[in-house]
Amino acid sequence: MTVEAGVSVAKRVVGGSFLLEDLTPDDVFTPEDLSEEQRQVASTATSFAEEKILAQAEAIEEKDFAVTRELMRELGELGLLGVDVPEEYGGLAMDKITSAIVADNLSVSGGFSVTLGAHCTIGTMPLVWYGTHEQKAKYLPKLASGEWIAAYALSESSAGSDAMNIRTRAKLSEDGKHYVLNGEKMWISNAGFADLFTVFAKIDGEQFSAFLIERGTPGLSVGAEEHKLGIRGSSTCPLVLEDCRVPVENLLGTAGKGHHIAFNILNVGRYKLAAGTLGGMRFAFRNGVRYAKERVAFGKPIATFGLIQEKIADSAAAIYATESAVYRVVGAIDAALADLNHDSATYAQDVQKRIEEFAVECSILKVLGSEALERVADHALQIHGGYGYVEEYPAERSYRDSRINRIFEGTNEINRLIATGFMIKRAVAGTLPLMPAIKKVMDEVMAGPGERVSYDGPMAAERALLASAKKLALFTSGAASQRFGNDLGEQQEVMGALADILIETLTMESCILRAEKQRKANAPGVKLAKYYAMRAFRVIETAAERVLGAVAEGDMLRTQMTIFRRLAKHEPANAVILGREIAAAMVEAGRYRI
């Protein structure tokens, strides 16, 4: 189905409500729903990635930043750096799906993708959302055209996850014309060649604030490049600020409100990171599949071996699942933004508030995408055998490049804590009716075995798994809060396990809805959705067991395990046959194709 661009096809759902709502396929956005315009953008991005970025993969990897800058300038000319920038400042002001498509389809080089992400998202968005008219007019056209490159400097050597604890200080000069900054920043992407830095510092050691600092400002110096495991084509350097005088008009946003900037940007950074992992996965996958077709062992192409096919199927399902979740969530964000008035004075704040509503989903996508990419890259390497371990083949680079995604934009530990933590916060505050839902499930399970609901259609079995997953999520959350109450936040392992349940529930639901939306029992996505649902449910079972083991003992534990087994009861489908069928289709295509 193709719809008119700009017309949102997803239902306006409340952020974080996925455990509570039963959606129909028509309620969600899927990659198959891309408008013609969005498909054209995808096509431009894909061609650019294949013909320009991949062609320069070696130069990028060798940190030939002249090449990187030239590619950025070309992207700017095409408009690909300005998707989220307002038109009056040289951008295109397109929807968030389009912005995700660009991040997705341009990602064939981990190093270059980091340059791009640091520029377009954390580098540019603070200015888009918090800049004054003068600041935006001065800098945004240059950033949208790629003439200037942006960087975002929050982390310090002793403050990463704990970002509010930064030590960089700012002090207003006596004449009131400058802020004088002192301190250091660490791990700053693009720092080696960026022209504009968004730097966070505390005014008088207290007011957390952001400043726009141009390269070449006296007192700002950029340290040496870090020697990294992966994404070697990106620039990562420390900054030193030594009596760095920043004009007062370069304070970004309000003094003391810099944390709003930092947190709101992160939500976008997270879903865009997840979108970017998609391109990386498809690239690693196709290299693995093509190798599997060509490599002969024991007289046969290794693609004919079951354990190779299993890796291919698992990878394809991971890509399908991440696509389903990313486009569903970003589609829901677009639906949430659809009725905002662009001309309103509070438009930027309104957008952030609506996106913030989906903070749980953004954290989920970040963890999902980074871990799926790592799995796909790992499978691709393993398929290559010894050749996967050497630089001559791209599998090695994909593997090294994937690793960073679990660390930046909030480590996966932090994002798991956020996913569960925010959910609980909303439940406690009553902004999401989770408490009544938990109570209902508790009552239901305590009442003993009830009637099992049966479902129809090609995804009937998976629908049943999904219903169980949602109940398990509510049941385990209920059990954990009963046991730990307000101290649940301190039980990180339990929070992490609950996050796993949330992640897999959202993802398996996204797969099921997408497969159903294709309305064909034999649609290629149906098999992938089924395959992923099985895997997701295994993860959920394991996590639920971990939670229950930690919250109860003795008779209580026995009762809870009885409930758990009842809820989790299902007959496994034949994953072996399904996996072979999926692998056969992918091997035939020589890439990820559905």
Partner 1 sequence: MKIIVAIKQVPERDARIRIDSGNKWIDLEDVEFSMNESDAYALEEALQLKEAHGGEVIVVSAGPERAGKTIREALAKGADRAIHLQSSDETELAAYDALGVARLLAASIQDEKADLVLTGLQSDDLGLGQTGVILAELLGLPHASLILKIEVAGNGLKVLRELEDGWFQHIELATPAVLTIQSGNTKLRYATLMGIKKAKTKEVRVIAVADLVASDPSLKPTAPSVVLDQVKLPHKQRSTQLLGGSPAEAAAALVEKLQFEVRVI
What's the Cα-to-Cα distance from 552 to each of 471, 548, 555, rounded to whole Å? Answer: 18, 6, 8
Write the secondary structure of 25-80 as one string of H (helix), E (strand) and C (coil): HHHCCCHHHCCHHHHHHHHHHHHHHHHHHHHHHHHHHCCCHHHHHHHHHHHHHHCC
Kindly state the smallest distance separating residue 496's Cβ from ligand FAD, in Å.
9
Chosen residue from 41, 122, 383, 474 binding partner 1 by CB under 8 A: 41
Q: Is 465 in the site for partner 1 (CB under 8 A)?
A: no
Q: Which stretch binds partner 1 (CB under 8 A): 38-46, 179-187, 241-249, 362-370?
A: 38-46
Its sign, for the CA torsion 70, 213, 91, 336, is positive
The catalytic residue among 323, 357, 409, 509 is 409
Task: Name which of residues 90 to 119 contact partner 1 (CB under 8 A).
Answer: 92, 94
Q: Are strands 296-297 and 300-301 parallel, antiparallel or unpaired?
A: antiparallel
Residue 379 exposure: Cα atoms within 13 Å on the Cβ side: 30
Kindly state the smallest distance separating residue 456's Cβ from partner 1, in Å.
24
Is residue 206 part of the annotated active site? The answer reads: no
- Buried b vs exposed e over 13-36: b needs ≥16 C-beta within 10 Å? bbbbbbbeeebeeebbbbbebbbe
User: Taking a C-beta distance cutoff of 8 angstroms, is the pair 204, 34 a contact?
Assistant: no
Q: Is 78 in the site for partner 1 (CB under 8 A)?
A: yes
Provide CB contacts within 8 A for 351, sequence distance 6+. 129, 337, 340
Kindly state the smallest distance separating residue 95's Cβ from ligand FAD, in Å.
26
What's the Cα-to-Cα distance from 18 to each of 159, 434, 574, rounded to whole Å? Answer: 33, 10, 28
CA distance 96 to 10: 13
Nearer Cβ to ligand FAD (158/346): 158
Segment (H or E) for 242 = strand 236-247
Nearer Cβ to partner 1 (290/535): 290
Q: Is 82 in the site for partner 1 (CB under 8 A)?
A: yes
Nearer Cβ to partner 1 (48/129): 48
Q: Is 43 in the site for partner 1 (CB under 8 A)?
A: yes
Residue with CB nearest ligand FAD? 160
Kindly state the smallest distance separating residue 188's Cβ from ligand FAD, in Å.
5
- Identity of the amino acid at 236: T
Q: Provide the 10 A C-beta neighbour count for residue 74.
A: 15
Kindly state the smallest distance separating residue 246's Cβ from ligand FAD, in Å.
17
Q: Provide the 10 A C-beta neighbour count for residue 516.
A: 23
User: Taking a C-beta distance cutoff of 8 angstroms, is the pair 380, 397 a contact?
Assistant: no
Q: Which stretch binds partner 1 (CB under 8 A): 77-85, 325-333, 376-384, 561-569?
A: 77-85
Q: Is 3 in the site for partner 1 (CB under 8 A)?
A: no
x-or-dash string of contact with partner 1, 572-591, rule CB under 8 A:
-----------------x--
Which entry of ligand FAD, partner 1, none binds 80, CB below 5 to 8 A by partner kind?
Answer: partner 1
Q: With CB under 8 A, what is the number of residues at the site for partner 1?
A: 18
Q: Is 342 in the site for partner 1 (CB under 8 A)?
A: no
Chosen residue from 48, 152, 320, 393 binding partner 1 by CB under 8 A: 48
Helical H segments across 447-574, by residue range:
460-484, 492-517, 524-551, 554-568
How far from chain centre, in Å, is Cα 590?
Answer: 26
Kindly state the smallest distance separating residue 123's Cβ from ligand FAD, in Å.
8
Nearer Cβ to ligand FAD (226/310): 226
Q: Is 294 in the site for partner 1 (CB under 8 A)?
A: no
DSSP class of 191: T
Nearer Cβ to partner 1 (5/461): 5
Interface residue list for ligand FAD (CB under 6 A) = 118, 152-155, 160-162, 187-189, 228, 236, 404, 407-408, 411, 413-414, 492
Nearer Cβ to ligand FAD (48/187): 187
Kindly state the smallest distance separating residue 266's Cβ from ligand FAD, in Å.
10
Q: Are strands 169-172 and 196-203 parallel, antiparallel or unpaired?
A: parallel
Catalytic residues: 409
**For binding to partner 1 (CB under 8 A), which residues are involved?**
5, 36-37, 40-41, 43-44, 47-48, 77-80, 82-83, 92, 94, 589
